[in-house]
Amino acid sequence: MAFFDKALVRACACSLLAAACTTHSDREGAGTQDALPRSQAERIIDASIAFHGGDLYNDAELGFDLDGQSYRVARVDDSYRYTAHDKNAGREVYRELNNLGYFEHLNGKMLELSAEDSSSQAGDIHASVYFALLPFSLDDPQLQAEYLGEDSLDGRAYHRLGIRNEDGFGLQEGLAEFLYWFDTESFRLDYLAHSLAAKEGTRFRKALNSRRVNGIVFQDYEVFRGPGIDSLHMIAELYASDRLLSISRKTLSGIFVKAQYEFKE
C-alpha cells in the first residue's frame, strides 16, 4: 500500500474509480452546460493545478517508483491507463487499471479475481496514483470543495479547503473526509489531512522535496498520525503545537514525464 491505509482505500475505492473515469473535457463540458461561476474554493484548486503542471498532465505518460512498485500513468483524451509493476524474489506482479476495468498478472499469467478483490485492488492502484499526482483531479465535478479560511503553518499563510465526494467519499460505515492547505502566494499544495474509515483516526501529510520534472511538480510526504477521528478539524493546530506523531515518509523516485503520449493498440 502506498499513500493511504488499506481501510481508507477500500472505503473510497468506488468514489475514486468514478473520478478516474471523468476526463477534463467532461469537466469543461459540465461547466459550460451549467454556466455557473467558479467558487473561491474552485478558483484556488484551478490555480494550484496550474502551478503544479496544468495541461501537462494530459496527453502525457509519467511514472514513479513508490514502496517497491513502479507506477506508470497515461491519460489521453477519454482514455487512461494506470499500471503498477512489482518484481521481487522471482515473483512478478503486473496490475493495470484502464477504461475497460482492472487486470492483474502473476508471472505473466492473468489472474481471475472476484469482483470484491478486483474492486479492492483497483482502488489501491488508483489511490496511489491519485494522491501522488495531487492536486490534479481535485477539480473533478464529483468532488465538492469548500473554502474553510486561512491557517498559518510553519510560518506561512495557507488557504484551507475541505473536499469530499458528493456521495460522502465513503461506503457504509466510514466517511473519509479530506482537508488541503494551499500556499496563499504560489497555490502550491503543501499539506493535506484525512480521516480514516471505521473510526481509525486521522493522518496529516507534509510535502517535502518539491521538485519540477519536465514542468510537473512532484513531492514526497512525511506522514503524521492524529489522535482520533474527531481530531481532523483541529489537526493543523495539533501539528503546529508538535502534538502529532511522525510515522513514515513516502518518497517518490525514478520519476519521468513524456509529453505527447499516444496509446498503442
- The verdict on residue 215 lying in a domain is yes
HSE toward the beta carbon, residue 204, CA cutoff 13 A: 23
- The verdict on residue 101 lying in a domain is yes
- The verdict on residue 264 lying in a domain is no
Q: What is the CATH number of the domain that holds 167?
A: 2.50.20
| Cβ-based neighbours of 117, under 8 Å, separated by 6 or more | none
All 3 cell numbers of residue 42?
Answer: 474552485
pLDDT band per the 50, 70, 90 thresholds, residue 9: very low
Number of structural domains found in the chain = 1
Whole-number pLDDT of residue 13: 40
- The verdict on residue 120 lying in a domain is yes
The range of the structural domain enclosing residue 229 comes to 6-259
- The verdict on residue 62 lying in a domain is yes
Least confident window among 16-20, 55-59, 125-129, 234-238? 16-20
3 state SS for the chain: CCCCCHHHHHHHHHHHHHHHCCCHHHHHHHHHHHCCCCCHHHHHHHHHHHHHCHHHHCCEEEEEEECCEEEEEEEECCEEEEEEEEEECCEEEEEEEECCEEEEEECCEECCCCHHHHHHHHHHHHHHHHHHCCCCCCCCCCEEEEEEEEEEECCEEEEEEEEEECCCCCCCCCCCCEEEEEECCCCCEEEEEEECHHHCCEEEEEEEEEEEECCEEEEEEEEEEECCHHHHHHHHHHHHCCCCEEEEEECCEEEEEEECCCCCC
- The verdict on residue 265 lying in a domain is no
- The verdict on residue 165 lying in a domain is yes
All 3 cell numbers of residue 167?
Answer: 456521495
Q: State pLDDT tens for residues 110-132.
A: 888 888 888 888 888 888 888 89
What's the whole-model pTM score? 0.81
When the pLDDT of each residue in the chain is averaged and rounded to a whole number, the result is: 81
